[in-house]
Structure 1
Amino acid sequence: MHRVPLSFVVTDASRFARALGQSLRERAEPPGHVELLNLMARAQGFRNLQALQAAMAPVPDAPLAAEDAPAPLPLSEGARKALQQFDSRGRLMRWPVKFSVQRLAMWLLWQHFDAKRVYSEREVNERLKALHLFGDPATLRRELINHRLMTRTSDCREYRKLHPVPDDEVRALLRAWRLQRRAMASGPSAAAA
């Protein structure tokens, strides 16, 4: 059987523990590992392990060789507008008017957070202050949550980066962003080439 790594965030540990504890108390014998995985999935609100796996983004396999890499996706008009909202140092200059451009801009901010870290609200604010110029980290923080790019505990003490699956438009935007950053980092001669 092929094993696919699976990780999930427990947003309400108390509810999760109660649900899992109740399921374990209802059993006469301790569950096997597959049964335990199903119980954990149910405690998270899913029907079973397969439903949890289907809801989670797959962990990417090994990187493709250059010749196997898919052709670059075309950059949409919205993605071009999102890139224009950032200055040469990668800071968001203004809050975009259009929701579709806001959504794309959030992905560019999202990539500056480490997936293996838990952040305090203050740390998220400090990171966002360095990434924008219009002085409103609270709006950006809330929008990262609203767009389901980050999650937070109900008391707003802990923030975590989520792993949503980017659509084609977002993948093209992230690729263009990385290329743009690389060109700027290597100097004006690379950008002109």
Structure 2
Amino acid sequence: MSKTLIPFATDDMSALARSLVRQLEERERPPGHVEMLNLLARARGFRSFQALRASQMAERQLSQPPADVAVDYVLVRRLLRYFDQQGRLRTWPGKHSHRRPCLWMTWMALPPRTAMSEREVDGHIREVASLGDHVLLRREMVDAGWLMRTPDGREYRRVELRPEPLAMALREQLGRRSA
């Protein structure tokens, strides 16, 4: 089994050192290997080493060029009816196959690599959706695994993914419509 190398860099060495010192002072004994990985990851702003690794893997996947995939532009034209002239989602699709591309538009509005409160997530959703049910959209993104939240629901983070080609085509058409 080959190991995947996880690059580790920081913009602020001083902040990293302060964070590590603070975390080590809270401990009664020296950390083990896995505990040290988690300390380093938390010093970089991640919840755990697993979260750091997942972010690195997602970044690698996103940097790879997408395969040439045919886009159904007839479906894109149908999906446009769910959006108003400003590109805001105005109705939630009844067809499940139409929901996913529309949800991508909401996901793209969330800031990447940013911890947000529930109120902040709802604010971003309201900016791009006028259907009046921001909770539905937030829950759909969490259920799809596109938005992670802490168990207590205090912090949300967008999971970095490559949007589907259909979603990118829809985004392009919405951009043309509102320009």
Into which bin does the TM-score normalised by the smaller protein fall? Answer: 0.5 to 0.7
Which residue of the partner structure matches residue 96 of structure 1? 93
Q: Given the superposition, is the C-alpha separation of residues 6 and 178 from structure 1 closer, same or farther in structure 2, using an over 3 Å criterion?
A: farther
Displacement after TM superposition at 1:156 (Å) = 1.3
Displacement after TM superposition at 1:90 (Å) = 1.1
Which residue of the partner structure matches residue 148 of structure 1? 145
Correspondence list, 1:61-80, <5 A: 61=63, 73-75=70-72, 78-80=75-77
Cα deviations across residues 170-189 of structure 1 (Å, max 9, x unaligned)?
2232134224404531xxxx
Verify: 1:172 aligned to 2:166, yes or no.
yes
Verify: 1:56 aligned to 2:57, yes or no.
yes
Give the partner amino acid of 2:111: D
Question: How far apart in 2 are the matches of 1:178 and 1:80?
Answer: 12
Displacement after TM superposition at 1:145 (Å) = 0.7
Name structure 2 gaps, 5 residues minimum. 10-22, 42-47
Q: RMSD of the TM alignment (CA)? A: 4.1
Name structure 1 gaps, 5 residues minimum. 8-16, 186-193
Give the partner amino acid of 2:167: L
Cα deviations across residues 107-166 of structure 1 (Å, max 9, x unaligned)?
111001110322111111122222222211111111111111111111111111111244
Question: How far apart in 1 are the matches of 2:103 and 2:162?
Answer: 14
Q: Given the superposition, is the C-alpha separation of residues 95 and 180 from structure 1 closer, same or farther in structure 2, using an over 3 Å criterion?
A: closer
Asked whether the equivalents of residues 85 and 92 of structure 1 are also in contact (C-alpha less than 8 Å), the reply is yes
Q: Given the superposition, is the C-alpha separation of residues 109 and 149 from structure 1 closer, same or farther in structure 2, using an over 3 Å criterion?
A: same
Which residue of the partner structure matches residue 102 of structure 2? 105
Which SS does the other structure have where 2:89 is aligned? Answer: coil
Correspondence list, 1:21-32, <5 A: none
- TM-score of the two chains, using structure 2 as the length reference: 0.62
Q: Given the superposition, is the C-alpha separation of residues 70 and 103 from structure 1 closer, same or farther in structure 2, using an over 3 Å criterion?
A: closer
Correspondence list, 1:14-53, <5 A: none
Which residue of the partner structure matches residue 181 of structure 1? 175
Verify: 1:81 aligned to 2:74, yes or no.
no
Question: How far apart in 2 are the matches of 1:159 and 1:100?
Answer: 26
Q: Given the superposition, is the C-alpha separation of residues 163 and 92 from structure 1 closer, same or farther in structure 2, using an over 3 Å criterion?
A: same
Aligned length, in residue pairs: 151
Asked whether the equivalents of residues 79 and 170 of structure 2 are also in contact (C-alpha less than 8 Å), the reply is no
Q: Could you tell me the percent identity over the aligned residues?
A: 29
